[in-house]
Amino acid sequence: MERDGLERAIAFTQYPQYSCSTTGSSLNAIYRYYNEMGKKPMMKWSTIDRWPTHPLLIQCFADHILKELDHFPLEKRSEVVILFSAHSLPMSVVNRGDPYPQEVGATVQRVMEKLSYSNPYRLVWQSKVGPMPWLGPQTDETIKGLCKRGWKNILLVPIAFTSDHIETLYELDIEYSQVLANECGVENIRRAESLNGNPLFSKALADLVHSHIQSNELCSKQLTLSCPLCVNPVCRETKSFFTSQQL
Point out the residues that are catalytic. Answer: 54, 207
Q: Please state the length of the chain.
A: 247
Name every residue whose Cβ is closer than 8 Å to that of residue 155 and which is 6 or more positions away in sequence.
65, 68, 69, 72, 80, 81, 82, 83, 119, 189, 190, 191, 192
Closest residue by Cα to residue 77 from 118, 136, 28, 112: 118
Do the Cβ atoms of 64 and 111 come closer than 8 Å?
A: no
Whole-number Cα distances in Å, 230 to 17, 21, 101 = 18, 12, 16
Q: Which of 54, 55, 50, 80 is nearest to 65 (CA)?
A: 80
